[in-house]
């Protein structure tokens, strides 16, 4: 079973799940708690298929582009990885945080409080970048609107998101399409409204990023 709520950290979400299933790329990174362990889920460029573990996982999903400032690590160094927080931070600090979370009646709230204490203020440029790409604007147009050259935009994106702006735009487009398809919008209309050339283009992207045909993906959820 999976539950999720909005976090007091702007744009973030606190969630709990059983550790099994298919995690799709979404432009975000997560701080994870599981059986006394603190881990970081880096930015995914393809579906991450978790094992059939039945134990409970709790996570704080940061809004796109914000986790690297919290972690002090560029996102591209964690791309498609799940790593122990102790590999990134001093072990004594991580031990203290583990004890704090273990002693809390709600691990999700404890994760949230840690993030609130340490998170940097949102970067207006990164928020504008995500908003522009999520609205379907081309990368070149977005770069011009933000006053950034293509190379500088690419460098900023690697640090913040783990990949370039074109990959980020593709992932955000996938999420838009899935949100529509889950409400029952026909696949052809979903493709058109999400910015795909046609339904075949949507089908290819879903297979490449999610690892399943769209119909099977929706049924599995």
Count of structural domains, the chain: 2
pLDDT at 86 over 90: yes
For residues 154 and 205, state if they share a domain: yes
pLDDT at 53 over 90: no
The whole-chain average pLDDT of the chain stands at 95
For residues 21 and 104, state if they share a domain: yes
Strand positions, DSSP E, 12-150: 13-17, 21-23, 30-34, 37-41, 48-50, 57-61, 82-84
Cβ atoms of 30 and 39 within 8 Å: the answer is no
Report how far residue 22's alpha carbon sits from residue 218's, in angstroms, rounded to the nearest whole number: 11
Q: What average pLDDT does this structure show over 145-154?
A: 93
Report how far residue 121's alpha carbon sits from residue 36's, in angstroms, rounded to the nearest whole number: 29
* CATH number, residue 197: 1.10.10.60
Residue that finishes a domain, picked among 66, 95, 118? 118
Cβ atoms of 4 and 15 within 8 Å: the answer is yes
Could you give the count of Cα atoms lying within 13 Å of 186 in the half-sphere of its Cβ?
5
For residues 197 and 212, state if they share a domain: yes
DSSP state of 85: G
Q: Whole domain around residue 177: which residue ranges?
A: 124-220
pLDDT digits (tens, 9 = 90+) for 167-186: 999 999 999 999 999 999 99
Report how far residue 25's alpha carbon sits from residue 6's, in angstroms, rounded to the nearest whole number: 19
For residues 157 and 203, state if they share a domain: yes
For residues 114 and 129, state if they share a domain: no
For residues 108 and 16, state if they share a domain: yes
Residue that finishes a domain, picked among 118, 148, 182? 118
Q: What is the pLDDT of residue 2?
A: 87
pLDDT at 21 over 90: no
Region of residue 163 (phi > 0: left; psi between -120 and 50: alpha; otherwise: beta): beta
Structure tokens at 125: 């440029």
């Amino acid at each position: 079973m999976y539950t999720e709520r909005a976090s007091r950290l702007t744009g973030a979400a606190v969630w709990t799940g059983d550790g099994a299933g298919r995690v799709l790329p979404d432009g975000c990174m997560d701080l994870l708690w599981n059986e006394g362990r603190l881990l970081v889920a880096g930015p995914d460029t393809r579906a991450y298929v978790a094992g059939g573990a039945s134990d409970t996982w709790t996570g704080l999903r940061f809004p796109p582009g914000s986790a690297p400032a919290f972690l002090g690590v560029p996102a591209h160094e964690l791309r498609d990885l799940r790593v122990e927080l102790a590999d990134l931070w001093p072990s004594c600090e991580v031990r203290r945080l583990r004890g704090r979370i273990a002693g809390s009646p709600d691990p999700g709230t404890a994760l949230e409080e840690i993030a609130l204490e340490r998170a940097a203020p949102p970067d207006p440029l990164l928020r504008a970048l995500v908003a522009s790409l999520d609205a379907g604007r081309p990368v070149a147009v977005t770069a011009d609107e933000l006053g950034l050259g293509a190379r500088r935009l690419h460098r900023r994106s690697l640090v913040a998101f783990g990949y370039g702006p074109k990959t980020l735009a593709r992932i955000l487009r996938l999420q838009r399409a899935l949100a529509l398809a889950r409400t029952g919008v026909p696949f052809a209309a979903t493709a058109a409204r999400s910015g795909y050339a046609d339904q075949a283009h949507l089908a290819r992207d879903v297979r490449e990023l999610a690892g399943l045909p769209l119909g099977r993906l929706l049924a599995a959820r």
